[in-house]
Structure 1
Amino acid sequence: MTLDDLARTIAARVGADPEESWTARLLAKGPGKCAEKFGEEAVEAIIEAVKGDRERLTGEAADVLFHLLVMLQSRNVALDDVMAELARRQGTSGLTEKAARSKD
């Protein structure tokens, strides 16, 4: 499965029954809950990264990616838009890009 596949699956769950779909349940609770869940999963991934448990980090990273896509969907931000932003930044030093953002 690719991130595009996962994003399409999440988008398809927007109108699904929250009693039958975890994704639909999260989306029905709104962007705040989606963001909270993403944050929880990110913290869990950080913990596993610090511990050095490769297998558990892999699982938590999958959860982070899933919940990031759910959060984006909750705000109608397409994965394609995020990918376009990454493409725009390609070839630019991370330090240069970060300095440009801090001026805004």
Structure 2
Amino acid sequence: MNWILLIIGGLFETGFAMCLGKAQETTGKESYFWWAGFAASLFLSMFLLYKAISLGGNPIPIGTAYAVWTGIGAVGAVLMGIFIFNEPATFWRIFFALTLIASVIGLKVVSN
């Protein structure tokens, strides 16, 4: 259960990065909508990270949880940049995103 909470928290981290990018592109009331989405995603992301490291049974070590959480957010932000914000999908960007995914999987495998 803790890993599921952590993954969902990482997806919310991607969400707050997307909201921040959209808030930068907009003005007026639409900008406020994106700022509210940023704040809500930020809160939920950190709350789920906290729950993943503190729930009984089999809590995830903070070092592993934080690395996985930020890895999901980083790869998600790269993908959001490519698909939503039309950032370039160069070989090296994709290569390093894939190495980040491999590292996150490796941390999951070696964690108790």
TM-score range relative to shorter protein: 0.3 to 0.5
Using the size of structure 2 for normalisation, the TM-score is 0.35
More helix by share: 2
Highest RCO, 1 vs 2 (Cα 8 Å, sep ≥ 6) = 2
